Structure formats: C-alpha cells, structure tokens
Amino acid sequence: MKKAILLTALCLAVSAPVHARMIDYPGSWIVMQSNDGENNSLDALYSVSNRHSLGYQANFWRDGEWTQHSVEAAYLVHRWNESDLQANLFVSGGLGVATSDFGEFDSETEPAAFGLVEFDAENRRLYGSYQAKYTDAGGIFDGFEQRVRAGIAPYVAEYGSLHTWIMLQIDHRPWASDKDGELTWTPFLRFFKGDVMVEVGYSDSEKVLFNVMVRF
C-alpha cells in the first residue's frame, strides 16, 4: 500500500497544468475556467507549498466530443526574481480517465494522462510564455500541442488598480481538424484586478477565447 501511495505521489510530482500561475502561496486555491476554439477546461489547484500544487482538471474537447478528468499536480522547477523581472519554469501533469461516445466510440472509457512544461517571463510592460503539452488518452486521443503567448501593457498600473494587457496567443495543434496543421492566432485582452483575472479574445478561426481565473 505504501508503495502504491509512493508511486502515485511520484507520478503526480512530475505531472503539470495550464495557463498563468499554477502555484501560489501555501494554503491558497486557484480556480481556472478556460474556453478556446477547441477546448473547455476547469482547473482547481491547491498550493501545498510555494513550489507544489495539487488539484483536479476537467477537459472537454468539442471537436472529438471527448472528456478527460484528471488528478493534477504542478511543480515550480525554478523561479528567477530580478529587480524588474520575474520568470518561472513549471512542470505539470495529470492522471485520470477519458470518455467518449463519438464516432466509433460507444461510451468508451480509457485511462488518460497529460504532461506539460511551461515557461513564462514578465516585467510590468511585457509578458511572454511558452507551453508544451502532451496528452495520451489511449485509443480516444493521443496528441501534442504547444502555445506561445506575448503581451504588452498599454499603461503601467499601480497595485490594486485595474491592469490591462493586450495579448496574442498562438496555438499549434496539429490534430485540430479545421486548421490542417496550421497555427491558430488569437488576439485577446487580459484584465485583472484583485484576485480575479479575465481574458477575452477572438481567433482567426472565428472562435471565442474566454478564460477566468480566481484565487482565494
């Protein structure tokens, strides 16, 4: 039993999640609800320490009509704190199940896992991030995706004010049916104030991006 717990803990320790900040101060919760052209997801992460978080992730992939439920964990590999810059390297991952009733699948359920690496860097004017994610959901899905984000703040807001960023997200999802291996470009606006962050955008595939992140 101890071995099983240890193995599960090790698997979780090397796994990872999505968007923005995955790990916060010890004892905090981060809840993220994300929607883009392909996917709707929900993440709830509890920061066990300032380097580890554990939680739950649900994904619904609209194109293939399949759902993934995972126990997820994130780890802050390294943080660079400079006088006017912060950069982070995260890894994250999850273990769970995928279900689909689409096409040849008849209420099929498969074990599923994902792994993710993310790097971000920002100062008060500029933001950039790169994320690579691999998902294996048995016979239902198996694919790699990557995402680049870049942003600029049109004004430098003080602590407690409304912060606004003009951002661009570029997704590479080779398996996305409507893109034929091409990139998806999504300009969007990011707003945050207090413990709430909202992102709203519209892609070149004419699909809406809408993300909300709340911390408590």
Partner 1 sequence: MKTFFAVLTGMTMVLAAVPARAAETMPDIGQTIHVKAKGLVCDYCVRAVEKMLKQRREVDDFKINLTTKRVDIRLKKGESLDDKTVSEIIAKSGYSIESITRE
Question: Which of 155, 150, 149 lies closest to 125 in space, CA to CA?
Answer: 155
Q: What is the dihedral of CA 9, 10, 12, 16, to 10 degrees?
A: 150
Window 33-72: contact mask with partner 1 (x via CB under 8 A) = ----------------xx----------------------
Within residues 141-170, the interface with partner 1 by CB under 8 A covers 156-161, 163
Q: Is the distance from CB of 188 to CB of 200 less than 8 angstroms?
A: yes
Does 197 bind partner 1 (CB under 8 A)? Our answer is: yes
Distance CA 146, CA 213 (A): 21
| 87-103 as b/e: b if 16+ CB within 10 A | bbebbbbbbbbbbbeee
Out of 4, 5, 82, 103, the only residue in the binding site for partner 1 (CB under 8 A) is 82
Decide whether 8 or 161 has the Cβ nearer to partner 1.
161
Binding-site size for partner 1 (CB under 8 A) equals 31
Out of 5, 83, 180, 206, the only residue in the binding site for partner 1 (CB under 8 A) is 83
**Minimum CB separation from partner 1 for residue 211, in Å?**
13
Give the binding range for partner 1 (CB under 8 A) out of 55-63, 67-75, 117-125, 199-207.
Answer: 117-125
**Do you know the residue count of the chain?**
216
Distances (CA, A) of 69 to 16, 42, 48, 83, 106: 14, 10, 21, 40, 18
Q: Which residues bind partner 1 (CB under 8 A)?
A: 20-21, 24-26, 28, 49-50, 79-86, 122-124, 156-161, 163, 192, 194-195, 197, 215
